[in-house]
Structures are given as structure tokens and as C-alpha cells.
Amino acid sequence: MPELDRRRVLGLAGGSAAALAFSLALPAPARADEPGAMPYPFTNGIASGDPLETAVVIWTRVAPDPLAPNGGLPPDARVRVEWQVSGDPSFARIVREGATVTGPDTSHTVHVDVQGLKPGHPYFYRFRAGGHISETGHTWTAPPARSMRPLTFAVASCQNWRAGYFQTVRDAVDQGAELMVFVGDYIYEYPVQQLPVGRPIDPNLPAEVVPTTVTLDQYRLRYALYKTDPDLLYAHQAIPWILSWDDHEISNDYESWGTPDPDRRAAAYRAYWEFMPIRWPQVPRGADARLYRRFRFGRLAQLDMLDTRQYRDPVAGGTVADEGPRRDPGLRMLGEEQEAWFSSGLGAVPARWNIVAQQILMTRLNTAADPEAPATFSGGTWDGYQASQQRFFDTVGAARQREAVRNFVVFSGDVHCSYISDLPADTLDPAAGVIGAEFTSTSVSSAQDFDPVANEARQIRRRLNPTLKWADLHCGYVLADLTAERMAVDVRVVDKVSRRDDPVFTGASFAVEDRVPGLSVA
């Protein structure tokens, strides 16, 4: 993507000069049922996401008091929000602008799918409502179809507000990430209570924000709480995000159509739709919302964002033996429709790198605690759906054999541990060959402060699994620097998420070379 100093851009707040530019470009807003001059309304920040060649989604919320019911607005308030997209941070070259009216039916959120942009260009955007102008956001469009322009992106997951701070998402921007790929657990549904090790909880936090999220209003308040974190707001303002959900956006370890209660699931889906800067293939219809989708970055990369939570068949959770239910050929992880979508799109258009971003550990991982014990597996990962896992790997292997896929890499989350692995061609015989690599990001904060004793115990998994090259319990994220010839990946970690100023550092570095399946040390 084009180079620019994003930290300088983020310093361009809505001051007098910006207000002048806005007032010259647009007439004074005709406000709809807006009672007088409201306080500054963009307290939940601004964001962009889902960049395409000629379009990108921009987002904000009108909420003078973000943790109050209805964002501090009257229950029936409807607010006119104006938006601008410019080719420069001073807004001297406005390329798109418009206005919309938002209300309580969407929690006063605003989604604009800005169309007609130039491929491979940086853009700047902002909003105005109630006489106030938002901060300036930076985003970009995907490069043109034949481009091989390099891309630097971050992959993160599992940000538990009560467990610690989010300094690692800020670090991703400061380390040069142009894109955040977030693979689930943006919020946690648990009550916002003080943990023995974690972020200090303000005792004056409104009581409505604290309980376990069950209703639509509670899910809305939870997103509003998370979107007061300054590091999270910074990262959303600086770069576009591509997001998917996992379980905690709804409830822990939920799976299949029957769990949890459909009303709770519908409420959770609705709030996610409201608060995320996503171009939805299908907006929520009750307890159903299609979220899997595909992105292209010229000829360099195709990114398939999967949904491994919503369509999976129910299984027995916890640890499972090698024989028995995990090998049930009828169990599906992706559901029939999504599996067909992935298979038909893999290698259909040439890309140097085929990348899959999804929620849960995909590689085969023996979790036994003793090398002499029979192999065991986690029933909640792809290992719990061995036939589905093998069918997925066979699809990739066949595409590699016919040279429709040249390089295959998976990015995952969920497990609060950084597992860096080769992907075996055979899920029952990890020595039978390699089809790609998997980088499982550790958590932003959910693993809490680093525990060296627990981390040392985790190393037995490296000895039991020949495809596993790294296992680490730090909090953090992964940073990928992608070129036509190489994907270099740093595991960026922090010792103490209970302290916002604890430094982020590189815990390990790996690489995947063009046409060489599997990992090498960077």
C-alpha cells in the first residue's frame, strides 16, 4: 500500500481548520429530531473495513455518552450524519461525500459502503453530526487486479477487556501493519468484574454494562465499552479491518443452530452487525447471518475469511480420543454450503498466495500430556471433525497438484496460545507430507500476564507433534510481511497486559518461501 506517516494522520482531529473545510464542502446539516447542540458524539470512534479495489466500508456511531442507554440520546432520536472521503488528509480533494440518518434501530451506528474509488489508493474519511466533526480516519482500497504490490498485515483475536489492556493492537499499527485481520472474540460475554490479574475495573462503571450479555441492549453496551479503549480506537482509525466472529461474541463454545437460545443468538448477531465495519454478504436474519467472504489483493494474495462457528455440527466438547466420534464422516465444520463455496473459489483466480483466516486451530495437534499415552485431541478444534478436516486438506492438496494453488497459509485464533505449525497432508499421519503452514495468533489479552511455568509445560506438545514448530502463551498478535517471494511473520508479544505501558516485542520469527510448503525460521 502507499507509504504515509499514519501517526501524523491520526493527529488530524476535528479542529477549526477541519471544520472550515467541512462547512465549505457541505451545507449546514438539516438535523432530524436532534434536540439542540449535543456533546461530542463520536466517542466510540471511527473505523473502516473490507477494502475492495474500488470500495471500502466506513463506520461510526453517534453516542454522546457511549455507556448510557441509547448512547445518551433520547429514545426516539434520529440524527443526520454527514460523511466525506478525500484523497488527502487536509480534505482539499474530496472524492465522495453524502449523508444518512441514523436512529435507535441501529444503535445510532453508521455504515457507508463508499463506492467508485480508485484501486490501490489511500483515502481519508470523517463524519459530522450535531455540529461536531469526527477525527480523521485513514483507509485504502485493494490494489488493481494485476498488481503484485507487497502487503503488511496483522492477525489478532481474543481481546478480553477485563483481562488486560489492548496495547498490542496499537503496536500493530506502529509496526507498519496496513490491515488488521481479526479472527474472533472481539468481545467477551462474561460479566465485567475485577479479575485477580487484569485491567483495573472502574467501580463507577454503569451497572447496566456489567452483567453477562444476553439481551440486545447488553450486547450493544458491551461493544460500546470495548470501543472506549484508546488503543483499539487508534487501530480502527489508522487502518482498515477485516473481521469475523468466534464464540464469545455470542457465548462460550456455542455451536450449531440450536445453541444458545435463538433469541440470544439473534441479539448477539444484531449487535455485531451494528458495531463492526463490515460489508455483509447477508445481514442478520434472526439467528442467521452469513459472514464468510473473499478478498483479493491484486495477483499477490486471495484471502478467504471463513466462519467455523455458526455452521458446525455439534460434537462432544473437551478432550476426545483418536477413535470414535472425532472420525465421524458425517460431521461438518463449515457446513455444506460454505464448504462448497471454499472449494469452488480456491484457485479459481490466480494468486501467488492463498490465505485462509478462520477462528480455530486447523492443524493436527496431539494434546496428550505424556509421550507414552494414547493420542488425544481437542473436540472443539478442526481435530474434533477429522473427516471434515481431511476433506479440507484434500481440497488444498488437489489444488496444489494441479498448480491452481501455489502457496497456502492459514491464520487462526481462539486457543490463547501461539501455535506455529506445518499443515500435514494427512490428518492421521503427520509424516505423510506438508501442504502449507498455519499461524495461530495468541490472544490480545485473554491469556492474561505471561506465566513461564505454564508455558514450559506447553512445550511437551512440540515434542509430541512433529509439525508443530512453536508454542507460546504470551499475549500478542502476529505480523505478516508479504511479498511475491516470501511471507515473513513475527510473533509480537507482551509480558504483562495488566500494564498498558508494558512493551511489546518480537517473541519469534518465521517465514514461508514461495513454492516451499511449510515453515522456515526467518
Q: What is the pLDDT of residue 315?
A: 78
Instruction: Give the highest mean pLDDT range of 277-291, 303-317, 383-397.
Output: 383-397
Q: Is 13 a residue whose pLDDT tops 60?
A: no
Residue 52: which of 305, 244, 335, 279 has the closest Cα?
A: 279
For 183, phi then psi, to 5°, come to: -110, 25
Q: Is 37 exposed, middle or buried (0-12, 13-18, 19+ CB in 10 A)?
A: exposed
Q: Is 98 a residue whose pLDDT tops 70?
A: yes
When pLDDT is cut at 50, 70 and 90, the band that residue 3 belongs to is: very low
Exposure b/e, 203-222, CB count within 10 A at least 16 = b: eeeeeebebebbebebbbbb
3-state secondary structure of 224: helix
Cell numbers at 513, concatenated: 518461501
For 196, phi then psi, to 5°, come to: -55, -35
Q: Is 23 a residue whose pLDDT tops 60?
A: no
Q: What is the pLDDT of residue 312?
A: 92
Report the percentage of the chain scoring pLDDT > 70. 92
The 10s digit of each residue's pLDDT in 24-33 is 333 333 343 4
Q: What is the pLDDT of residue 342?
A: 98
When pLDDT is cut at 50, 70 and 90, the band that residue 15 belongs to is: very low
Q: What is the pLDDT of residue 256?
A: 58
Q: Find the helix or strand (DSSP H, E) in which 112 lies.
A: strand 109-114
155 forms beta bridges with 181, 478
Question: Residue 130 in contact with residue 34, Cβ under 8 Å?
Answer: yes
Taking CA atoms, 310 is separated from 243, 259, 314, 354, in Å, by 15, 10, 10, 23
What domains are there in the chain, each with its CATH number? 6-140 (2.60.40.380), 151-521 (3.60.21.70)
Q: Is 347 a residue whose pLDDT tops 90?
A: yes
Task: Work out the end-to-end distance of the chain between its first and last CA atoms, rounded to an integer number of angstroms.
Answer: 23
93 forms beta bridges with none
Average of per-residue pLDDT values in the chain: 92
Residue 208: which of 109, 61, 66, 74 has the closest Cα?
A: 66
Q: What is the pLDDT of residue 282?
A: 87
Q: Is 501 exposed, middle or buried (0-12, 13-18, 19+ CB in 10 A)?
A: exposed
Question: Residue 274 in contact with residue 217, Cβ under 8 Å?
Answer: no
Q: Is 19 a residue whose pLDDT tops 60?
A: no
- Dihedral angle of Cα 439, 245, 325, 393, to the nearest 10 degrees: -40
Taking CA atoms, 190 is separated from 194, 252, 287, in Å, by 11, 9, 20
Q: How far apart are CA 315 and CA 349, in angstroms?
A: 35
Q: Is 116 a residue whose pLDDT tops 50?
A: yes
When pLDDT is cut at 50, 70 and 90, the band that residue 150 belongs to is: very high
Residues 6+ apart with CB under 8 A from 35: 74, 77
Lowest-confidence segment of 8-22, 163-177, 349-363 by average pLDDT: 8-22
Lowest-confidence segment of 225-234, 367-376, 415-424 by average pLDDT: 367-376
Question: Between 48 and 285, where is the model more confident?
Answer: 48
The 10s digit of each residue's pLDDT in 461-486 is 999 999 999 999 999 999 999 999 99
Residue 121: which of 98, 139, 136 has the closest Cα?
A: 139
Q: How far apart are CA 92 and CA 25, in angstroms?
A: 10
Taking CA atoms, 261 is separated from 255, 258, 271, 286, 313, in Å, by 11, 7, 16, 11, 16
The 10s digit of each residue's pLDDT in 225-244 is 999 999 999 999 999 999 99
Exposure b/e, 259-284, CB count within 10 A at least 16 = b: ebeeebbbbbbbbbbbbbbbbbeeeb
Lowest-confidence segment of 119-123, 126-130, 237-241, 281-285 by average pLDDT: 281-285
Q: Is 442 a residue whose pLDDT tops 80?
A: yes
Q: What is the pLDDT of residue 224?
A: 98
Count the Cβ atoms, other than its own, within 10 Å of residue 345: 13
When pLDDT is cut at 50, 70 and 90, the band that residue 2 belongs to is: very low
Q: What is the pLDDT of residue 36?
A: 54
Report the percentage of the chain scoring pLDDT > 90. 86
Q: What is the pLDDT of residue 260?
A: 75
Q: How far apart are CA 426 and CA 411, in angstroms?
A: 19
Q: Is 441 a residue whose pLDDT tops 60?
A: yes
Residue linked to cell 471500502: 56
Q: What is the mean pLDDT of residues 106-122?
A: 98
Question: Residue 60 in contact with residue 237, Cβ under 8 Å?
Answer: no
Lowest-confidence segment of 15-19, 69-73, 105-109, 318-322 by average pLDDT: 15-19
Cell numbers at 351, concatenated: 494468486
When pLDDT is cut at 50, 70 and 90, the band that residue 521 belongs to is: confident
Q: Find the helix or strand (DSSP H, E) in which 315 lies.
A: none
